[in-house]
Structures are given as structure tokens and as C-alpha cells.
């Protein structure tokens, strides 16, 4: 219990600092790398929550593909990397106020709704009670209850591929 | 283990999927001049998909799959039929525009059909995951379609603005959905409804608000409407027509499903928000439309206002009888709105072929040199305004009936607002008609009769037929509304 | 571990993402902020899934990851198109249409 909590807080701190880095950094490539920190932290959190399959999907798809896409996009649009161009618009302060206010409201409501309810992962003898994250259970769920969205997502990915190629082609 | 698939129930979805793949592969084989054949294949597929809709409707009853996550009942069949019809008409509108402009063709229909696939699944989806996936399947191809005119900066701008606001609203909606899942323990709308009946938590209200806010972007309700006028103006006009009708109604179906099947027992979750959205859309949409000089922007604000009219029954529905008339009203209004709006855009496209302009002043004198077009356009405009004997009056009538059935002070205020808005709206619709009939054509304009391509004519005829038929004999659509609400 | 740890972490990340969407000028950076928001949603879903012992939340998270990937692909293509026509990825330069 204690070890998990320590891991959680260390990861949470890293993720929040990384997130702030994404939205405040004046170098686009640094922002992308801070995003990697956040996503890797998220993957580690999923492992803490006994969702190993989702954690690895996160690493492979998000960090392994999406971030690479971002870096390619940054490279191909020759985004300013020198730090002399301003990357923020004029609405920084109103945005900050909105953001802090929203965080306050959500935090208060979450504490009110869930209090100190615990997530039970391991039983008294240390065996893992939480089985929902196992790949077998996920597969059961996806291929029986959620098979229609699953198939539709494959067509969506095909369409996104076709669309991206059409739009990005040089002609 | 047998997943228990009912192939008849998902037949339309399967047919559209097969059409998408067929169009993509066929495009590979057609040479440059024969590219329009991809539209024919696509249209054939859409018509073929309508066949199981009819057989399912005749068969009657409700089919449920996946624990109630995918339901085929009259409600979903009505909307599926609508989406297929709207897709067919949109393809008729686009074939000449895309062909003449030398834009990518086969891929256009692949993306259009993928969006339609999302709409078909959305009509049947009864759990949060399916609704989310269907909503994204509707939206993501349209982001790309909005930017189809690659060398036009306005089209680029339309695409990026629509895209960024679209993905941000998805994220907000998802956050709301995750909270709903957490508070109710399920993604199935029927189970959510059971839980929210007794759950009294401010977090639930915020969750409902965030979820609805996400949908509100999709249907361009005020104050989440900012993307709509720019995107409508910048995107290729057939895409705008498709967005304003099919995509918007797709969003409304999502909203209707989630609110009716999921949130209805707990009205605090959705009623105040929807009341505010409806009122704001009615006021702002109509007032700003008055000031527009560009027909596409005017139609954009008009569709924001029409969205407000469609939201009115949502906002006033409460337990009991008012729900039935509300659902009926939403269904009927969206069906009629689809026909009117597509028709109006068809004429805009037809005229733009000649005048190459989207200003309202380019309509001047149309009554003299293209009386047929002017008559049909006047029909659509007056229908949008709600003037009998065109179908729009019945749409507004069902809306007022739903508001008065609810019988609460909030409902009456909203009904009054809707009435005032209708009167204001009449002025900007009539202004276009005035240009057409009472003004002279601009100096040096080409006043030879306009020859429009067959496909465009067919689209106009279909829409006009619906608008007149339903206006004179509303029972046609009233029956559909009854079926959908009862089912 | 308390459920709220994860939920409040997710809420903080979500709000930082909101700030990024409102304050950033470069299209790619706005997109990164949206990715922050989506990751926050996923943390919410997985935490609820573990707390409620419901697989649906994790399935939902998988779909969110997949669709986020599709969105980023399309979005970067559009940003690339704009860059080619305007030679600048700055969103403030995209001003043709009046608001």
C-alpha cells in the first residue's frame, strides 16, 4: 500500500509538471517531449491500477505513434524552435483564470462525491483481486458487447487514413 | 461462443460498409474521365441500404443486441432512413461540383459514406461507448471534407477551425461521459437511467452539463456555435449542405438518445442547460442572421436558429405525456428541416454555378430569368420561415404543441421566445425572396436561362416534393413521429 | 489508494489542457493540449473501472486511445495543408473569414 502510494505521488508530480511544460514551454519540441512524460506517467498509473493491457496500448499507440506524428508535424511545418517567436496568444490570463476556476470546482465536487473511497487491488494475502484489467476479460467485453463500435472504428481508421493522405498530398 | 448476431438488424450498416470498400477499390480502376462512376456506386449502395430499412420497418418490433447496446426499433429506423435519404441527396448535390472543380472524387464519397455509417450506428446506439464512436465516425470525415478545396484558403481555414473546436468538444464530452460512468457504474443508457433516478449529486449535474456541452458544439447551439458560420462559408457548398443537415441531425440524435434514454429520470441534469441553449440559439441565431449579406452565412445562422427550435422540445420535456410529444416534435422537425435545408442549399449551388458568388445580391432578378429556380427557392425559404402550405409550418406546430403540452412557466416563456423568433426569422428569409422577385438583375449579368445538371435537378425535385407533400398532408410525417416516440 | 487521488489528478490535467487550448497559438500545440485532456479522460475511466470492477471503463479507454490517434492523424494533415498555403503554422494568421 505504502509503496504504491509513493509511486503514485511521484508519478503524479511528474505528470503535472510535464503538463505545465506542454502548455507553457516556448519550444515546440520541448513541449512534445513534456507530453511524452505525461503519457508515460499515465501508462505507469494504469499499471498501478492493474490495467496492464491498456498501459501497454498507451505506450505503443500514444507514445510510439502519436508523439512521433507530432514530431513529424513539427518538423514539416518548420515550427519555430528558436524560442524567439511567441507561441502564446493574448488570452493567457483569462485562460488561466478559467482553468484554475474549473479545477477548483471539479476538485470540490469530486471530493464531495467520492470522499475517501478506496480502490481495492490486492486481497489480504497479497493476491490480486482486481481482474477486470486482464486481457481475457477485455477481449470478452470487446468482442461480445462492443463489437459494433470495434468494427466501426476500423472503418473510421480507414477513412482517416484516406482523408489524411488526400489532404496532405502535394499537388 | 455465439455472440448472437441478428444480421437483418445490422444489414444497413453492413451494406454501407461494403459500399465504402467497393468505392475505394473501384476508384482505383476508373480512369480520370470515368471518376464520376464512383458516385454512382456510392448512390447505389445507399439505395441498397434503404431496402433492409423498409423490410425491418414492415417486420415491426424491436430488435436488441449486445445486452441492449444496439437497438433497432422504429425510432432508429426513422432516423436511419432519414440519414440515407440525406446522404443520397447530398451525393446528388456534390457530383457536379466535385467533378467540375477537379477535386478528388472517389475519396470524397468514401469519406461521405463513412460519416453516414456513423450516423446509422448512432441511430441504434444505446450505450456511451457506441455513441462516442459513432459521433467521432460522423465528425472526423467531415473535418477532412471541409478542407476539400485544398488551394482555397477559406476552405483550409474552415477545416482547421472546425477540427480544433470539434476535437476539443469531444474531449469535454468524454470527460462528462467518464464522470457519468463513474457515478452510475455503467455505460449502458438503460442502466444509467435506472441509477440517475435516485442519485442526487452535484457532480452528476456537472457531468450531464459537460456531456451535453460536447453535443452542443456538434449541433452548433449558442454559445458553442462559433465554428459554424466560418466553416459553412469556407467549406465546399455540398459539404456545407451535408454538414448543416446530416451532421447536425446526427448530433441531435446523439443528444436525444442520451437525454431520453439515459438522463430522462433526472431532469436537473439536462433541462436547465438545454433551456439556456435553446433560448440563446433562438435569439442570437435569428438576430445575427438579419445582418448577413452572404447567403451561406445567412443559412448558417438560420440553421443555428433552427437548431434552437429543435432544442425547444428537449428543454421543456418532463415526465409523463410531455415526453411523447417532445420526441415526436424533434423527429418531425428534423425530418422536415432536412428536406428544406438541403433544397435551399441545392438552389444556392445551382445559382453559384452561374454567378460564382455567394452574396444575397447575386440573387437579384432571379424571378425574371430563372423563374423555376426562384419559385422553388421561395418555397424553401417560406418553409424555413414556417409559412403554410409548406412543410415548415407543421414542424413549428409540433414544436409549439410540445411546449404547450409541458405546461410549466419555463416552457411557456420558451414558446413565446420561439414565436417572436419565428417572426424575426421571416424577415431575413423574405429578404432573399424580395431580391429574387422585386429587384432587377445586376448590370451586365448573364440572364440566359440557367441549365442545371440532372443530378442537381433531381435533388431539388425530391426536396421540393417532400416540402409540398408534407405541408399539405402532414400525416405522412406525423405517423413517423408517432412510431418513433412510441417505440 | 484512494479513488479521488486519480480523479483529482485527472481533473488537474484536464484543466491544464483547457488552459493550453485557450492560450496557445500554434495549431500543433493546441492539439497537444487536447491530447492532455484526452489522457485525463482515460485516467478517469481506468480509475473508475478499477474502483467499480467494471470492464466497460477500460474498453472505453481503449476506444478513446484509438480515436485520438485517428484524430491526430487527420489534424496534422490539415495543419500541414495550412502551412503549405500560408507558410506559417500560426493560427493568428488564419483570418480570412470574419468571425
What's the pLDDT tens digit per position in B413-426? 888 888 898 888 88
> C-alpha cell of B245?
443537415
Q: Of B163, B182, B230, which has the smallest distance from its Cβ to C78's Cβ?
A: B163
3-state secondary structure of B390: coil
* pLDDT at residue B264 tops 80: no
Determine phi and psi for B125, rounding to 5 degrees.
Answer: -75, 135
pLDDT bucket at C90, cuts 50 / 70 / 90:
low
Average pLDDT in the C14-30 region? 91
Query: Which is nearest to B86 in space by CA: B207, B225, B239?
Result: B239
pTM of the model: 0.92
Q: Is residue C97 domain-resident?
A: no
Helix-, strand-, coil-residue percentages of chain B, each rounded to 5? 80, 0, 20
Which residues, at least 6 apart from B103, have a Cβ–Cβ distance to it below 8 Å? B148, B149, B150, B236
Distance from CA of B154 to the nearest CA of C (A): 6
Buried b (16+ CB within 10 A) or exposed e, B243-258: bbbbbbbbbbbbbbbb
Distance CA B327, CA B331 (A): 6
* pLDDT at residue B122 tops 90: yes
Instruction: Using alpha carbons only, give the angle B156, B162, B163 rounded to the nearest 5 degrees.
Output: 90
The pLDDT, as a whole number, for residue B438 is: 82
A95-133 pLDDT, tens digit per residue, is 899 999 999 999 999 888 887 877 777 665 555 666 777
Distance CA A88, CA A97 (A): 15
Q: Which residues of A touch C38 (CB under 8 A)?
A: none
The pLDDT, as a whole number, for residue B318 is: 66
Q: Which residues of B touch A141 (CB under 8 A)?
A: none
Q: Is residue C35 domain-resident?
A: yes
Place of cell 415548415: B392
E strand or H helix at B469, and its extent?
A: helix B454-472
Average pLDDT in the B81-100 region? 88
Q: Is residue C98 domain-resident?
A: no
Query: Which is nearest to B199 in space by CA: B132, B261, B267, B259?
Result: B267
Chain A segment 122-141 residues within 8 A of C by beta carbon are 130-133, 137-138, 140-141
* pLDDT at residue C32 tops 90: yes
Q: Are residues B107 and A167, on separate chains, in Cβ contact within 8 Å?
A: no
Other Cβ atoms within 10 Å of B452 Cβ, number: 21
Q: Taking CB atoms and an 8 Å cut-off, how many pairs form between chains A and B?
A: 97
Instruction: Answer whether B483's CB lies under 8 Å from B400's CB.
Output: no
The pLDDT, as a whole number, for residue C99 is: 46
pLDDT bucket at B267, cuts 50 / 70 / 90:
confident
Chains that touch B (3 or more CB pairs under 8 A): A, C
Q: Are residues C34 and B154, on separate chains, in Cβ contact within 8 Å?
A: no
Instruction: Answer whether B94's CB lies under 8 Å from B238's CB.
Output: yes
With pLDDT > 90 as the criterion, what percentage of chain C qualifies?
A: 59
Instruction: Return the sign of the alpha-carbon dihedral for residues A46, A47, A51, A57.
Output: positive
Distance CA B408, CA B267 (A): 14
The pLDDT, as a whole number, for residue B61 is: 73
Q: Is residue C16 domain-resident?
A: yes
Q: Which long-range contacts link B58-67 to residues 24+ away (Cβ below 8 Å)?
A: B59/B8, B62/B487, B63/B6, B63/B8, B63/B9, B65/A148, B65/B4, B65/B5, B65/B6, B65/B9, B65/B10, B66/A144, B66/A145, B66/A146, B66/A147, B66/A148, B66/B3, B67/A145, B67/B188
Range of the domain at C12: 3-90
Instruction: Answer whether B162's CB lies under 8 Å from C74's CB.
Output: no
3-state secondary structure of B427: helix
Q: Are residues A143 and B118, on separate chains, in Cβ contact within 8 Å?
A: no
Q: Are residues B167 and C77, on separate chains, in Cβ contact within 8 Å?
A: no
Distance from CA of A118 to the nearest CA of C (A): 4
Distance CA B305, CA B282 (A): 5
pLDDT bucket at B356, cuts 50 / 70 / 90:
confident
> C-alpha cell of B280?
440563446
Indicate the pairing of strand B63-65 with strand B70-72.
antiparallel
The pLDDT, as a whole number, for residue A85 is: 60
Distance CA B419, CA B108 (A): 40
Instruction: Answer whether C43's CB lies under 8 Å from A45's CB.
Output: yes
The pLDDT, as a whole number, for residue C88 is: 64
Distance from CA of C97 to the nearest CA of B (A): 6
Tally of domains in chain C: 1
Which residues are paired to B70 by β-bridges? Answer: B65, B125
Q: Is residue C41 domain-resident?
A: yes
Q: Are residues A155 and B114, on separate chains, in Cβ contact within 8 Å?
A: yes
Distance CA B386, CA B395 (A): 8
Would you call A101 an interface residue with chain B, using a CB distance cutoff of 8 Å? no
The pLDDT, as a whole number, for residue B467 is: 85
The pLDDT, as a whole number, for residue B191 is: 85
The pLDDT, as a whole number, for residue B322 is: 67
Average pLDDT of chain C to the nearest whole number: 88
The pLDDT, as a whole number, for residue A134 is: 83
Q: Taking CB atoms and an 8 Å cut-off, how many pairs form between chains B and C?
A: 122
End-to-end CA distance of chain B: 31
Q: Is residue C99 domain-resident?
A: no
The pLDDT, as a whole number, for residue B385 is: 86
CATH assignment of the domain containing C86? 1.10.287.3510
* pLDDT at residue B3 tops 70: no
Average pLDDT in the C2-14 region? 92
Q: Which residues of A touch C83 (CB under 8 A)?
A: 76-78
Would you call A148 an interface residue with chain B, using a CB distance cutoff of 8 Å? yes
Distance CA B357, CA B361 (A): 9
Q: Of C47, C75, C86, which has the smallest distance from its Cβ to B163's Cβ?
A: C75
Q: Is residue C73 domain-resident?
A: yes
Question: Testing the interface with B: which of C55, C94, C95 to mutate, by most B Cβ within 10 A?
Answer: C94
Q: Are residues B137 and A156, on separate chains, in Cβ contact within 8 Å?
A: yes
Distance CA C27, CA C45 (A): 27
The pLDDT, as a whole number, for residue B487 is: 47
Distance CA C14, CA C8 (A): 10
Average pLDDT in the B111-126 region? 93
Q: Of A105, A113, A162, which has the smallest distance from its Cβ to B107's Cβ?
A: A162
Distance from CA of A164 to the nearest CA of B (A): 7
Amino acid at each position: 500500500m505504502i509503496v504504491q502510494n509513493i509511486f503514485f505521488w511521484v508519478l503524479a508530480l511528474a505528470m503535472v509538471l510535464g503538463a505545465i511544460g506542454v502548455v507553457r514551454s516556448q519550444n515546440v519540441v520541448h513541449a512534445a517531449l513534456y507530453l511524452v512524460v505525461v503519457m508515460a506517467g499515465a501508462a505507469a498509473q494504469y499499471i498501478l491500477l492493474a490495467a496492464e493491457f491498456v498501459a501497454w496500448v498507451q505506450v505503443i499507440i500514444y507514445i510510439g505513434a502519436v508523439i512521433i506524428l507530432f514530431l513529424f508535424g513539427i518538423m514539416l511545418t518548420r515550427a519555430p524552435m528558436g524560442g524567439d517567436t511567441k507561441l502564446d496568444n493574448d488570452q493567457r490570463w483569462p485562460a488561466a483564470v478559467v482553468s484554475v476556476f474549473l479545477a477548483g470546482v471539479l476538485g470540490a465536487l469530486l471530493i464531495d462525491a467520492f470522499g475517501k473511497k478506496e480502490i481495492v487491488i490486492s486481497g489480504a494475502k497479497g493476491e490480486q483481486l482486481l481482474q477486470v484489467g486482464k486481457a481475457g476479460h477485455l477481449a470478452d467485453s470487446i468482442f461480445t458487447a462492443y463489437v459494433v463500435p470495434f468494427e466501426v472504428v476500423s472503418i473510421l481508421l480507414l477513412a482517416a487514413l484516406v482523408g489524411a493522405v488526400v489532404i496532405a498530398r502535394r499537388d | 461462443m455465439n455472440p448472437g448476431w441478428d444480421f437483418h438488424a445490422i444489414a444497413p450498416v453492413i451494406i454501407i460498409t461494403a459500399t465504402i470498400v467497393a468505392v475505394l477499390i473501384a476508384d482505383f480502376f476508373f480512369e480520370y474521365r470515368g471518376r464520376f462512376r464512383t458516385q454512382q456506386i456510392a448512390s447505389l449502395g445507399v439505395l441498397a441500404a434503404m431496402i433492409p430499412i423498409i423490410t425491418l420497418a414492415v417486420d415491426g418490433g424491436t430488435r436488441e443486441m449486445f445486452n441492449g447496446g444496439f437497438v433497432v426499433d422504429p425510432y432508429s429506423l426513422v432516423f436511419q432512413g432519414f440519414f440515407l435519404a440525406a446522404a443520397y441527396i447530398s451525393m446528388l448535390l456534390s457530383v457536379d461540383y466535385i467533378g467540375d472543380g477537379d477535386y478528388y472524387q472517389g475519396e470524397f464519397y468514401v469519406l461521405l459514406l463513412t460519416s453516414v455509417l456513423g450516423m446509422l450506428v448512432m441511430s441504434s446506439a444505446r450505450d456511451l461507448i457506441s455513441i462516442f464512436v459513432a459521433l467521432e465516425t460522423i465528425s472526423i470525415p467531415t473535418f477532412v471534407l471541409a478542407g476539400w478545396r485544398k488551394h482555397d484558403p477559406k476552405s483550409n481555414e474552415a477545416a482547421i477551425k472546425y477540427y480544433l473546436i470539434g476535437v476539443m468538444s469531444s474531449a469535454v464530452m468524454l470527460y462528462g461521459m467518464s464522470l457519468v460512468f463513474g457515478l452510475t457504474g455503467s455505460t449502458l443508457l438503460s442502466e444509467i437511467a435506472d441509477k440517475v433516478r435516485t442519485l442526487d449529486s452535484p457532480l452528476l449535474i456537472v457531468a450531464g452539463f459537460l456531456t451535453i456541452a460536447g453535443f452542443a458544439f456538434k449541433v452548433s447551439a449558442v454559445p458553442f456555435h462559433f465554428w459554424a458560420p466560418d466553416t459553412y462559408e469556407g467549406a465546399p457548398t455540398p459539404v456545407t449542405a451535408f454538414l448543416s443537415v446530416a451532421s447536425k441531425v446526427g448530433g441531435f440524435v446523439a443528444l436525444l438518445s442520451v437525454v431520453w434514454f439515459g438522463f430522462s429520470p433526472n431532469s436537473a441534469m439536462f433541462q436547465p442547460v438545454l433551456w439556456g441553449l435553446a433560448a440563446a440559439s433562438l435569439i442570437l441565431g435569428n438576430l445575427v442572421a438579419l445582418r448577413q449579406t452572404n447567403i451561406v452565412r445567412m443559412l448558417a445562422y438560420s440553421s443555428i436558429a433552427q437548431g434552437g427550435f429543435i432544442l425547444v422540445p428537449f428543454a421543456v420535456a418532463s415526465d409523463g405525456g410531455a415526453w411523447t410529444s417532445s420526441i415526436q416534435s424533434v423527429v418531425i422537425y428534423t425530418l422536415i428541416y432536412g428536406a428544406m435545408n438541403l433544397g435551399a442549399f441545392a438552389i444556392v449551388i445551382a445559382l453559384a454555378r452561374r454567378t460564382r458568388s455567394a452574396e444575397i445580391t447575386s440573387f437579384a432578378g432571379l424571378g425574371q430569368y430563372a423563374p423555376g429556380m426562384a419559385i422553388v427557392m421561395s418555397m424553401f425559404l417560406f418553409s424555413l420561415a414556417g409559412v403554410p402550405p409548406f412543410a415548415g409550418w407543421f414542424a413549428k406546430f409540433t414544436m409549439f404543441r410540445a411546449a404547450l403540452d409541458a405546461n410549466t412557466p419555463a416552457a411557456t416563456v420558451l414558446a413565446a421566445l420561439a414565436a417572436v423568433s419565428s417572426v424575426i426569422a421571416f424577415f431575413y428569409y423574405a429578404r432573399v425572396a424580395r431580391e429574387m422577385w422585386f429587384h432587377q438583375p445586376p448590370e451586365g449579368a448573364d440572364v440566359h436561362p440557367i441549365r442545371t445538371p440532372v443530378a442537381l435537378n433531381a435533388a431539388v425535385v425530391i426536396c421540393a416534393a417532400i416540402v409540398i407533400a408534407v405541408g399539405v398532408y402532414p400525416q405522412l410525417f406525423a405517423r413517423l413521429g408517432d412510431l418513433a416516440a412510441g417505440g | 489508494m484512494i479513488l479521488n487521488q486519480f480523479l483529482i489528478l485527472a481533473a488537474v490535467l484536464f484543466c491544464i489542457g483547457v488552459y493550453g487550448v485557450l492560450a496557445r497559438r500554434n495549431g500543433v500545440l493546441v492539439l497537444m493540449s487536447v491530447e492532455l485532456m484526452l489522457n485525463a479522460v482515460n485516467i478517469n475511466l481506468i480509475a473508475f473501472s478499477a474502483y467499480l470492477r467494471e470492464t466497460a471503463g477500460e474498453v472505453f479507454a481503449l476506444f478513446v486511445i484509438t480515436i485520438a490517434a485517428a484524430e491526430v492523424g487527420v489534424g496534422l494533415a490539415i495543419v500541414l495543408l495550412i502551412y503549405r498555403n500560408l507558410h506559417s503554422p500560426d493560427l493568428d494568421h488564419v483570418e480570412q473569414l470574419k468571425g
